Chain A
Amino acid sequence: MSDMAQATKRLRLARGGLLDLRNLGAAALLCLLLALPFVVGGFLLYTLTLCFANALGALSVSLLVRYSGEVSIGHSFFVALGAYAVAIMEKQFGLSLLLSLPVAVLLGIAGGIIFAYPSRRLSGIYLAVSTMALALALPEILVHSEKVTGGFEGLYVTLVPLPSVAKELQRYYIALAILVVACLALAQLRGSRQGLALLMARAHPSAAEAFGITRGWARVSVFAISAALASVGGAVMAFASSTVSPNSFTLWSSIFLLVGSVVSLNRLTLPAGIIGGAFLTLVPNYLASAGDWVPILYGAALVAVTLCVNCASDIRLLLARRERP
């Protein structure tokens, strides 16, 4: 409901040509990220590149939560789809990221539709349970189809699109560019007719059906878009870390994506994505010595943010009541 109201407000703002403070903030952040490679280097740059990949993953979960009100704890499946698409395209055909990225997107869309179709009419918990099964099934599929996926050891990704530029810089800027394009596309979706239709199917299912937007259609299309986004995230992840292996796609990595999405309050903007991605990438890196504390910290963050959001909405409700006696 509030999502829809916000979307229409945005639309009006955009048409009125008013400057949006939030857009300015995002632009400033982008400038900072663009200039960063001139200041820092090495490990931090690599970490940030991974952060962009995780940001895409967190955004994909946020998209699902925002547009259909569902949670998925199986998005590592779609991330793996993209990552392995890049690695396999390189191994089999010698193609680099720019050519394998569209393949990753298509695979993500196809995977999302195939998976969401059976559960299109069911309430949220069933979707969550089947995504859990998806996440748990993934490692055994990857490990036991060794010929294609390289089994336990996984595959390497070494090709870069531009041979003459330094690899690190290329990885950083291409990942950033993909993330920015994804965020612009999300903003476009939010204001578009299709985006409004999807939001309406969530907020007022019966009204939406009267307009010809069935719930099943909305569910499947949101899931397909989200899966495609996750798959792009996976492609960037493979490109950034130059290796893919089943270890990075477990049930826990799926749940971590959800943590990243919740921590960024399920928002779909560039800064939110970066926050989510940074939480997933920087926390384990800087707490490497306290490895076992990471799940506890993530779990605590998940519970704390959920409770705080609930508290905030309570307070807002109270204030609204006070305003109109």
Chain B
Amino acid sequence: MTVLSGFASDLPPLLWSGAVSGCLYGLGALGLVMTYKSSRVVNFAHGNLAGLAAFLVYGFSNGALLNLSWGNAVLFSAVLIALIATLSYALISPIVFKSDLASTIATLGIGLMLQGLIQLLFGADIVNLDLPVPRFGFSLAGVRVSSYDLTVLVVTLLIVGALFFVIDRTRLGIAFRAVSTNPFASRVCGLNLRSVHLFAWLSSAVLGLVAALLIVPTTFLSSTTMSSFMLQAFTAAVVGGFNSLPGAAVGGVLVGIAMNLFAFYVSPEFMNTFLLAVILLTLNLFPGGLLEKVSGGRV
């Protein structure tokens, strides 16, 4: 009986905090899925770029590089990150249409360069980077809700809402959907594939920046933490299906909750192993992700 009541009191906070961090994995996964859907490239540099973004915000606001206010630092880093994303797309643009394999390898190279850049600029420092939000908290049905949680939820909803609005309602979004469904036909119709790709890469970089800024306060920032965050985003993308934007968001929340439950009930030390198991299981049970559309095939 005590076990059961303990379970009942443990579970809601675990689900809540899992869902909150899951939102951030979802943001990371959305960026991966956007680049994959439009240009068929799995961007392995995504996590490194997001890590660099967070480091830049730190450097610009703490006086390591510049001494700006937090908002200006974010703005400045966003511009720089957009520039780097454009540059990295320009680097691999000759091979994007030819070989998925070669372009994926090239993104690994870009990721290595960004990682080196982080180490070069900031060394092996471990950095704390907080959000400038007032601290408060309240209890709701046995769950402690903090200002951080609310910030994460609000920002995620705003960003995801804006993204889906753009994709659903604007010409750019229609172009994006067309290109990700059938690149050849959209080219025949006169769409510029490059600009659609660029839109996807830029928005993915911004999503990465937001996700990195929001996730750093829960842990700390070092040149190595970003690779495990990237794994969480990748797992979310696999769970939701690499082809589905809503899937990425849902997958993020699911992965966040599952990770929290695993850490609490089994062991907090084997998170990456657990994610590996999740990836392999998902690939076997739902090869196209949980939200895959069922469609027939022709022989």
B56 to chain A minimum Cβ distance, whole angstroms, is: 17
Q: Of residues 1 to 43 in B, which have CB atoms within 8 Å of A's CB atoms? A: 36, 42
Cα(A262)–Cα(B108), bound, Å:
12
Q: Which residues of B contact A134 (CB under 8 A)?
A: 276
Residues facing B in A104-128 (CB within 8 A) are 118-119, 121-122, 124-126, 128
Binds A, one of B127-135, B141-149, B200-208, B228-236: B228-236
Q: Is A248 an interface residue when CB atoms closer than 8 A count as contact?
A: no
Q: Which residues of A contact B99 (CB under 8 A)?
A: 310
Which of B110, B234, B271, B284 is in CB contact (< 8 Å) with A132? B234
Known: A128-B104, A140-B269, A140-B272. A119 touches B116 (CB 8 A): no
B63 neighbours in A (Cβ, 8 Å): none
Whether B101 pairs with A69 at a CB distance below 8 angstroms is yes
Query: Assuming the A-B contacts A136-B227, A140-B273, are A295 and B101 also in contact, with contact meaning beta carbons closer than 8 angstroms in the complex?
Result: no
**Residue from the list A70, A125, A310 in contact with B95, Cβ < 8 A:** A310
Binary A-proximity of B101-120 (CB < 8 A = 1, otherwise 0): 11011101111111111011
Interface residue B84 (Cβ < 8 Å from any Cβ of A): no
Give the nearest-CB partner of A261 in chain B: B105
Assuming A118-B283, A136-B227, A310-B95, is B42 touching A258 (CB within 8 A)?
Answer: no
Cα(A69)–Cα(B228), bound, Å: 26
Within the complex, what minimum Cβ distance (angstroms) separates A318 from chain B?
Answer: 14
A76 to B108, CA, bound (A): 16
How many residues of chain A have a CB within 8 Å of chain B? 46
With the chains together, A133 CA to B101 CA distance in Å?
18
What residues of B have a CB within 8 angstroms of the CB of A141 in the complex?
A: 270, 273
Q: In the bound complex, do residue A124 and residue B112 qualify as a contact, i.e. CB atoms below 8 Å apart?
A: no
Contacts of B113 in A (CB 8 A): 295-296, 299-300, 303
A133-B235 in contact (CB<8A): yes
* A255 close to B (CB within 8 Å): yes
Q: Is B71 an interface residue (CB 8 A)?
A: no
B94 on interface, CB distance cutoff 8 Å: yes
Interface pair B115/A295, CB less than 8 Å apart = yes
Indicate if the CB atoms of A300 and B109 lie closer than 8 Å.
yes
Given A125-B100, A129-B42, A300-B109, answer yes or no on A136-B283 (Cβ-Cβ < 8 Å): no
In contact, A299 and B95 (Cβ under 8 angstroms): no
Chain B binding surface, main DSSP class:
helix
Q: Which partner residue on chain A sits nearest B114 by CB separation?
A: A299
Chain A 66-93 interface 0/1 with B at a Cβ cutoff of 8 Å (1 = within): 0001110100000000000000000000
A301 at interface by CB-CB < 8 Å: yes
Residues of B within 8 A of A211 (CB): none
Task: List the A residue with the shortest CB-CB distance to B227.
Answer: A251
Check if B293 is an interface residue, CB within 8 A of chain A: no
Q: Check if B279 sits within 8 Å of A129, measured CB to CB.
A: yes
- Give min CB distance, B112 to chain A, whole Å: 3
Q: Is B280 positioned at the interface, with any CB of A under 8 Å from its CB?
A: yes
Residues of B within 8 A of A20 (CB): none
Give A125 to B101 CA distance when docked, in angstroms: 8
Please, how many angstroms separate the alpha-carbon atoms of A125 and B238 in the complex?
10
Q: Is B171 an interface residue (CB 8 A)?
A: no
A50-78 vs B, Cβ < 8 Å mask (1 yes, 0 no): 00000000000000010001110100000
Please state if A130 and B271 are interface contacts (CB–CB under 8 Å).
Answer: no
Please list the 8 inter-chain residue pairs (A to B) with the smallest Cβ-Cβ separation, ordered nearest first: A299-B112, A302-B109, A295-B116, A296-B116, A299-B113, A303-B109, A133-B276, A137-B273
- Is residue A204 contacting chain B, with contact meaning CB distance below 8 A? no
Interface centre among A136, A262, A307 (most CB of B within 10 A): A136
Contacts A65-B101, A293-B120, A302-B112 aside, 5 further interface pairs with beta carbons under 8 A come to A69-B101, A132-B231, A137-B270, A255-B112, A307-B91
Partner of B280, one of A71, A130, A310: A130
A298 within 8 A of B: yes
Assess A136 versus B109: contact at CB under 8 Å? Given A118-B284, A119-B280, A293-B116: no
Interchain CB contact under 8 A, B36 and A310? no
17 examples of A-B residue contacts, CB within 8 angstroms: A71-B104, A125-B42, A125-B104, A128-B42, A132-B231, A134-B276, A136-B228, A136-B272, A144-B269, A255-B111, A259-B112, A293-B120, A299-B114, A303-B106, A303-B113, A306-B95, A309-B102
Interfacial chain A residues near B169, Cβ < 8 Å: none
Q: Are A296 and B117 in contact (CB under 8 A)?
A: yes
Is there an interface contact between B42 and A130, defined as CB atoms closer than 8 Å?
A: no
Could you tell me which residues of chain B, from 231 to 256, have a CB within 8 Å of some CB in chain A? 231, 234-235, 237-238, 242
Closest to A65 in B: B101
In this assembly, does B217 line the interface, its C-beta being within 8 Å of a C-beta of chain A? no
Task: Kindly list chain A residues whose C-beta atoms are within 8 Å of the C-beta of B100.
Answer: 124-125
Q: Does B161 make an interface contact (CB < 8 A)?
A: no
Q: Does A292 belong to the interface (CB within 8 Å)?
A: yes
Closest to A127 in B: B283
Asked if A13 is at the interface of the complex by the 8 Å CB criterion, the answer is: no
Tell me which of B110, B235, B237 contacts A303 (CB under 8 A).
B110
A294 part of interface (Cβ distance < 8 Å): yes
Chain A residues with CB under 8 Å of B36's CB are 125
CA distance A251 to B91 in the complex (A): 23
Residue on B nearest A143 in the bound complex, by CB: B269
Chain B residues, CB < 8 A from A301: 109
Cross-chain contact B91 with A303 (CB below 8 angstroms): yes
Once bound together, how far apart are the Cα atoms of A101 and B112, in whole Å?
Answer: 33
Residues from chain B with a CB closer than 8 A to the CB of A121 are 287
Report the bound CA distance from A302 to B91 in whole Å.
12
